[in-house]
Amino acid sequence: MNFSNFLLMRHEILLLTITLLLLISEIFIHKNKKGSLVHLAIFLFGIHTAVGFLHLDESSLFGGMFRTNTMIHFFKNILNIGVFILLLKSADWLQEKIVNQNRGTEFFILLFSSLLGMYFMISSGDFLMFYIGLELSTLPVAALAAFETTKRISSESGIKLILSAALASGVSLFGISMLYATSGSIYFNDIADVIISSNLTILGFILFFAGLAFKISLVPFHFWTADVYEGAPISVASYLSVISKGAAVFILMVLLFTVFKPLMHVWENLVYVVALATMFIGNLFALRQQNMKRFLAFSSIAQAGFILLGLITGNLLGIATIVYFVLIYIFSNLAAFGVVQAISLKAGKENMDDYNGLYRTNPLLSLVMMLALFSLAGIPPVAGFFGKFFLFTAAASKGYYFLVFLAVVNVTISLYYYLLVIRAMFIRKSDNPIPFFKSKLYMRLGLLITVIGILALGLYSPLYDYIYKLSSVFN
C-alpha cells in the first residue's frame, strides 16, 4: 500500500495531530498561564482550516470504506469554518469559566473528536464506517453538554442527549442490519446495485432514517432538542444546532441520492411528510419561547424542515441548494448564537425580555443579531434569502408547488417570532436594560466573520455556481 494514499485523509490526520498536540501541550504550559491554551487551539485550528482548502483528488481508501471527493472535501471545509467561528466565540467563555478549572484541553479534545467523527461519517463508504463516525460524533457531545458541572440543568441535558442518542443510533443500527440482511453487503456501492423495494428493505431504510433524523432533529425525533440546548453551554448548543446538524444532513443527502436512489418513490413521501411536520411544529413551538436558547432550538428545527425541501428533489439541484443553504445557515445561526452567548457571558441574561432596549445600549450587537435573524427568516438582501429561495426553486422544479406554498406559509410564521426579538431589541424600552459592554477580541472577530458571511454569501453569486459544479461528482 502506498503511504501517500493516507494524504487523502488529510483532514482527519491533521485534526488528530492537533488534538494530541493540545493534550501534550497542557503539560508544558504553566498553570497560571492556562489561558494561552485557548490561543494555541485557535491558532492550530485556524491553520487546519486553511490547509483544508488545498486541492484534493477523488479517491477511496481501505477497500472503499473511506472515500473522498471534491464535494465531501468542500463540506468538511464548511464544517471547519463553522467550528473555527465557534472556537472564536467560545474563547471568552473558555478563558473565564473553564480554563481555570484545568478543563480546557478536555473541551478541545471532546470537540475535536466529535468533529473527527463527523469527518469519518461524511467520508464513509460503508455502513460500518458510517456507524463508527456517527457514534464518535455524538458521544463526546453528550459529555460536552454536561460540561458546566456546577449546573444541574447542564448535567440533565447531557443525560438526555446521551440516552436519546443511544436509542437513536441503536434504532439506526437495527435498520442497517436489515439492509445487510436483504442486500448481503454493507458497502454503499454494492447496496446501491442490488437494492429493491421489498418490505424488509423499506423497514430497514425507515429505521436507518430515524437515526439520522434524530441528529438533524426532525419531527418526530426532535423532543430532545429544546431541553438539551437550554441546559448545555451555549457553545455546545450552537455546535449541535449547526455543525452536527449540517454533517448529518450532508450524509443523509448523499445516502438518499446514491444508495437509496431506487427507493426514491418511498422516501419522497416520507420526506414530504416529515418536512411539513418539522416546519410546522418547529415554527409553532418557537412562537411562544421566552428563553433565547429554546427559541433558537425550535427555530433550528424549523430550518431543518426547510432543508428537506431540497432533499425531496433527489437531483443535483437539490445537492447544490442544500449545501449552499447549510453554509449560509452555519453563518446565520452562529451569529445569532454568538450574540446570545456574548450577552449571556457578560450580563448573565438569556430571556427575550432581557433584550428590551438592547439597541440603545449595545447598537452593534443588536445589528448583528438583526442581520442574523433576517438571514434566518430569509429576507433580502442577506444570504438567508438566497438560500431559501433556491431551496424552494429546487422543490418547485419537481412540481411540488403545494409543498412550497406551505413552506412559504411557514416562512411567514417564522418571520413573526424573529420579529419578536427585533421588537424587543429595537422597539421596546426597558427600565433595566443590559448595560453597554465590549466583548473581547475573539468574540468580535467571530461575529465579524459571520456578518461578512451573511452579507456576502448571497450577493456573491460565483459561490453558488462553484457549489453546483462540485455537486456534479454525485452524478
Partner 1 sequence: MDILSLFVTVPVLTIVALVFTKGLKQARIISMVGSFVQLGMAINLIFAYFKERAINDSIMVFTKDVVWFEQFNIHYAIGVDGISVALLLLTSIVVLAGVFISWKMADLPKEFFISLLVLSTGVYGFFISIDLFTMFVFYEIAVIPMYLLIGIWGSGPKEYSAMKLTLMLMGASAVLLVGILGIYFNSNADGGVLTFNILEIAQVNIPFEAQKLFFPLTFIGFAVLGALFPFHTWSPDGHASAPTAVSMLHAGVLMKLGGYGVFRVAMYLLPEGAMHWDWFFIILAATGVIYGAFGALQQKDLKYINAYSSVSHLGMVLFALLMLNKTAWNGAILQSLSHGFMTALFFALIGMIYGRTHTRDITKLGGLLKVIPFISAIYVIAGLASLGLPGFSGFVAEMNIFVGAFQNEELFYRIATIISVSAIVVTAVYILRVVGIMLMGPIKNEAFLSIPKVTWYEKTGILLLLIPIVGMGVAPLWLSDMILESLQPFIQGVL
Given the rule CB under 8 A, which residues bind partner 1?
Answer: 320, 374, 379-381, 385, 389-390, 392-393, 396-397, 401, 404-405, 408-409, 411-412, 415-416, 419, 422-423, 426-427, 461, 464-465, 468
Question: For residue 364, which amino acid is it?
Answer: L
**Cβ 466 to partner 1 shortest distance, Å:** 10
Nearest distance in Å: CB 426, partner 1 = 6
Close Cβ partners of 139 (under 8 Å, ≥ 6 residues apart): 114, 162, 165
Buried b (16+ CB within 10 A) or exposed e, 426-464: bebeeeebbeeeebeebbbbbbebbbebbbebbeeeebb
Whose Cβ is closer to partner 1: residue 290's or residue 412's? 412
Which of 89, 86, 98, 215 has the alpha carbon at shortest distance from 147? 98
Write down the least CB distance from residue 122 to partner 1, Å: 24
Instruction: Return the number of the residue (121 or 275) whose C-beta is nearest partner 1.
Output: 275
Q: Whole-number minimum distance, CB 464 to partner 1, in Å?
A: 6
Q: Does residue 381 have a cis peptide bond before it, meaning omega lies within 30 degrees of 0?
A: yes
Compare residues 90 and 299 and give the one whose CB is closer to partner 1: 299
Which residues are within 8 A (CB) of 262 and not within 5 positions of it... i.e. 6 or more apart? Answer: 192, 195, 196, 197
The rounded distance, in Å, linking the Cα atoms of 137 and 125 is 17
Nearer Cβ to partner 1, position 355 or 392?
A: 392
Q: Phi and psi for 66 in degrees, rounded to 5?
A: -115, 130
Least spacing, CB of residue 471 vs partner 1, in Å:
10
CB of 415 to partner 1, least distance (A): 5
Tell me the closest approach of the beta carbon of residue 201 to partner 1, in angstroms. 33
Residue placing its CB nearer to partner 1 in the complex, 10 or 360 = 360
Buried b (16+ CB within 10 A) or exposed e, 281-305: bbbebbeebeebbbbbbbbbbbbbb
- Kindly state the smallest distance separating residue 74's Cβ from partner 1, in Å: 16
Q: Is 291 helix (H, G, I), strand (E, B) or coil?
A: strand
50 or 408: CB nearest partner 1: 408
Q: Which is nearer to partner 1, 285 or 392 (CB)?
A: 392
Q: Rg of the chain over CA atoms, in angstroms?
A: 21
| Cα angle: 245, vertex 88, 346; to 5 degrees | 100
The amino acid occupying position 452 is I
What is the DSSP annotation of 39-85?
HHHHHHHHHHHHHHTS----EEEGGGTEEE-HHHHHHHHHHHHHHHH
The closest alpha carbon to 298, from 330, 333, 350, 324, belongs to 333
> For partner 1, which is the closer residue by CB, 326 or 422?
422
Looking at beta carbons only, is 334 or 422 nearer to partner 1?
Answer: 422
Pick between residue 361 and residue 393 the one whose CB is nearest to partner 1: 393
Q: With residue 105 as reference, give the H or E element that holds it.
A: helix 104-123
Least spacing, CB of residue 416 vs partner 1, in Å: 6
The residue to which cell 429576507 is assigned = 379
Q: Minimum distance between the CB of residue 407 and partner 1, rounded to whole angstroms?
A: 9
